[in-house]
Amino acid sequence: MGLKLSIWEQAARARADLRLGAVVVLVRGGAGVLAAGAETLPAERLDDLREAGPVDLAVTARRATTLKARAYDGDIARIAVDADYDLARIRATADPARDLSDPMKGPFHTRREGDAGLHRAAVRLAKQAQLLPAALVATLPSRKAAEAVAREHGLSLIDADALLAAEVNAIGMRPISAARVPMEVSERGRVHVFRPEDGSEEHYAIEIGAPDRAKPVLTRLHSACFTGDVLGSLKCDCGPQLRAAMKAMADEGAGVLLYLNQEGRGIGLANKMRAYSLQDQGFDTVEANHRLGFEDDERDFRIGGTILRRLGYRAVRLLTNNPRKVGMMGNAGLRVIERVPLQVGETPQNAHYLATKAAKSGHLL
Ligand SMILES: Nc1nc2c(ncn2[C@@H]2O[C@H](COP(=O)(O)OP(=O)(O)OP(=O)(O)O)[C@@H](O)[C@H]2O)c(=O)[nH]1
Ligand SMILES: [Zn+2]
């Protein structure tokens, strides 16, 4: 029957479940677990997890470093949640907000026996759901037992290997709608909305002027920055970059702006504000992401390449200072004929931020 959910559909549903505080079931080989977001799980469900089996808090190796917990599983650490751990302590372990004012209550016991594949998938789902990258994981006796729990309680059931494998392929993008939007910089504007086939956030392509598909088009891959784009925040250079890119396209008579909903370099606005709060405590933009348990950049720029190809473009002149964007466009089958620097909007408030990106994230000055 065609009613069976695809791995994308299962993952989209599980992301929504985690955001709500619901428990999902993950299976791999003969093993199965219950998994939940450390940030969202209600207190009464922690007792249910404990009844089901031994509970771990799965965090990234980045977060484990801050906690001084040993990560035996490469990118993941499995912290044993002892019986005396309450939810407040679990959340304080996952959330760095009070690392300084309320220093960690370690030492932590991290597991090294057994396999972390299910924990890795749980953290991956939490990241995709734009929650703190930390998951509570209760190990069940077997895959069969896990499947029975999923059936009995109507919980989402996902194969962990299929979830992690699905990310390897670039996501398909469906064009949904498009219309003319005259703008201040150019009366000839056209906004296209694309919907990813994995049910994640929509992205936009804005054609300015009259781009010729036979020639390399002036292009900007812009990641959403609510604070910079909308509020005019002085902490970053996003707003000035956005406007300068649009003006360059208008001056040239043609260009494509890709407005990608990857707020906070892919961690979402809630986590970005957590990162800003850490920056208020003295950490730089990269350290703040790491303390939260994220990489400094969690974006997948293949999205932009896929959209450009759908629109019929094959070669670009890319407005950016970020060499990773150039590399990823190449991976998505777009030829980058030229990198066009985009250095605007330096303020006293963002000078340190820009210097950090140059020193630690490879941005070109
Ligand atoms: N996590 C995090 N994200 C931030 C911070 N400051 C800005 N951002 C996000 O960074 C992204 C802006 O990056 P871009 O300007 O697209 O890209 P870039 O990597 O700086 O490369 P350029 O093309 O050279 O501008 C947006 O998604 C912002 O929301 C921060 O301190 N922490
Ligand atoms: Zn910004």
What ipTM, to 2 d.p.?
Answer: 0.97
Q: Give me ligand 1 centre to Cα 42, in Å.
A: 33
Do the strands 76-80 and 24-28 form a parallel or antiparallel pair, or are they unpaired?
A: unpaired
Model pTM score: 0.95
Domains in the chain: ranges and CATH: 7-167 (3.90.870.10), 173-262+299-361 (3.40.50.10990)
Q: Is 317 a catalytic residue?
A: no
Please pick, among 62, 124, 274, 299, the residue that the annotation labels catalytic: 299
Mutate-to-test residue for ligand 1 from 265, 281, 329, highest number of ligand atoms within 8 A of CB: 265
Closest CA to 268 of 291, 289, 282: 289
The predicted-structure confidence for 50-79, as pLDDT tens digits, reads as follows 999 999 999 999 999 999 999 999 999 999
CB of 274 shorter than 6 A to ligand 1? no
Q: For ligand 1, is residue 222 a contact (CB within 6 Å)? A: yes
- Quote the percentage of the chain above a pLDDT of 90: 82
% the chain with pLDDT above 70:
99
Per-residue confidence (pLDDT) for residue 69, from 0 to 100: 93
* CB of 225 shorter than 6 A to ligand 1: yes
Which residue in the list 198, 297, 300, 339 is annotated as catalytic? 297
User: Does ligand 1 come within 6 angstroms of the Cβ of 200?
Assistant: no
The pLDDT value recorded for residue 356 is: 83
Give the Å distances, CA to CA, from 119 to 58, 246, 267: 6, 43, 19
299 as an active site residue: the answer is yes
Would you say 285 is a known binding-site residue? Answer: yes
Q: Distance from the CA of 67 to the center of ligand 2, in angstroms?
A: 28
Peptide bond into 348 cis (omega under 30): no
DSSP state of 228: I
- In which residue are the tokens 């080989």 written? 29
Q: Is the CB of 291 under 6 A from ligand 1?
A: no
Question: What 3-state class would DSSP assign to 156?
Answer: coil
320 C-beta closer than 6 A to ligand 1: yes
pLDDT of 325-359, one tens digit each? 998 888 888 999 999 988 777 788 888 877 787 77
Query: Which residue puts its alpha carbon closest to atom 11 of ligand 1?
Result: 265
Q: Can you tell me which atom of ligand 1 is nearest the CA of 224? A: 27
**Burial class of residue 92 in the structure, from the number of CB atoms within 10 Å of its CB (0-12 exposed, 13-18 middle, 19+ buried):** middle
Average pLDDT over residues 171-184: 96
Q: How far apart are CA 135 and CA 23, in angstroms?
A: 10
Residues with CB under 5 A from ligand 2 (ion): 225, 228, 236, 238
φ, ψ (nearest 5 deg) of residue 268: 90, 160
Whether 265 is in the pocket of ligand 1, judged by its Cβ within 6 Å, is: yes
Residue 300 CA, ligand 1 centroid: distance in Å: 13
Main-chain phi, psi angles of 357, to 5 degrees:
-65, -40
CA of 183 to the centre of ligand 1 (A): 24
> Which of 7-11, 100-104, 127-131, 142-146 is the least confident region?
100-104
Instruction: Give the three-state DSSP class for 18.
Output: helix
Query: What does pLDDT average to over the chain?
Result: 93
Q: How far are the Cα atoms of 181, 237, 254, 356 from residue 348, in angstroms, in the given order? A: 35, 11, 33, 14
Atom of ligand 1 nearest to the CA of 297: 1
Q: 260 CB under 6 A from ligand 1? A: no
> Was 13 annotated as part of a binding site?
no
Decide if pLDDT at 301 tops 70: yes
Q: Do residues 207 and 182 make contact, with C-beta atoms less than 8 angstroms apart?
A: no
**What are the residues facing 60 on neighbouring strands?**
76
**Known binder of ligand: residue 264?**
yes
Ranges of H-type helices in the chain: 7-20, 43-52, 61-67, 87-94, 117-128, 143-153, 160-166, 238-252, 263-266, 268-280, 285-292, 302-310, 323-331, 351-360
Contact call for residues 200 and 12 (beta carbons, < 8 A): yes
